[in-house]
Amino acid sequence: MEGSGERKLIFKPLGLTSYKDVWKIQTVLFDSILSAKQKGNNNHDNYLITCEHNHVITLGKSGKESNITIHEFPGVEYVRIDRGGDITYHGPGQLVVYPILDLEQFGMGLKTYIFLIEQAVIDTLKSFDIESGRIKEYTGVWVDYQSATSRKIAAVGVRSSRYVTMHGLAFNIKPDLTYFNLIVPCGIIDKEVTSIEKELGKEVDFEKVSEVFRLNLLRLLG
């Protein structure tokens, strides 16, 4: 696919923010790009939102509520959403990334885009001496990905329309992993969830990891 239009990417770091508030921001930006494309304007802005969320469980449109293992979770919001994928948890210490992009401007399709997001995580983890990769049957990024004890460290769930994307990536830097016990993460029964902090066995700098990831993603986007 040939790229079209001048690529302009605006970075929007939102910090610790409620899921529904960021979803509204995403939707406004997503709709604005779709509207511009429908009017023949290919020189619109693209956006890169980064944040952490207050404790929330989200269920994608193909998800199953049976993957909620504990139905009483005080202090944790529950939201059904319009992305692909199953169920996941977001909370403090997890980097959440929402690229609102017109993929036609970047000359790529959806599969390439998802591969690129995963690669940005893989490259970031390598900077912190953690080897990671992909598993054929699942999306996301995995530690010990070639073994039976592979552990998920980043989840990907994307919505797209007319090559415009929203939703995106959840990257476990230093969240409280016990919250994942509320669900069957991504509907995968036999795999564990991990984080950079757990893998390294020491405290990590959230902002430093976030910046390394952002720079890797920008490099891969070109």
What are the extents of the domains in the chain? Answer: 9-221
CATH superfamily of 9-221: Bira Bifunctional Protein; Domain 2 (3.30.930.10)
**DSSP alpha helix (H) spans, 64-195:** 110-127
Distances (CA, A) of 78 to 2, 18, 154, 191: 40, 12, 20, 23
pLDDT confidence bin for 2, thresholds 50/70/90:
very low
Ramachandran assignment for 186, one of left (phi > 0), alpha (psi -120 to 50 degrees), beta (any other): left
Q: Looking at residue 1, what is its pLDDT?
A: 43
- For residue 120, give the 3-state DSSP assignment: helix
Phi, psi of 17 (to 5 degrees): -145, 150
Q: Which residues are catalytic?
A: 186
Q: What average pLDDT does the chain have?
A: 92
pLDDT confidence bin for 185, thresholds 50/70/90:
low
* Residue count of the chain: 222
* 137, 150 Cβ separation under 8 angstroms: no
Question: 36: how many CB neighbours lie within 10 A of its CB?
Answer: 17
Residues 16-26 pLDDT 10s: 999 999 999 99
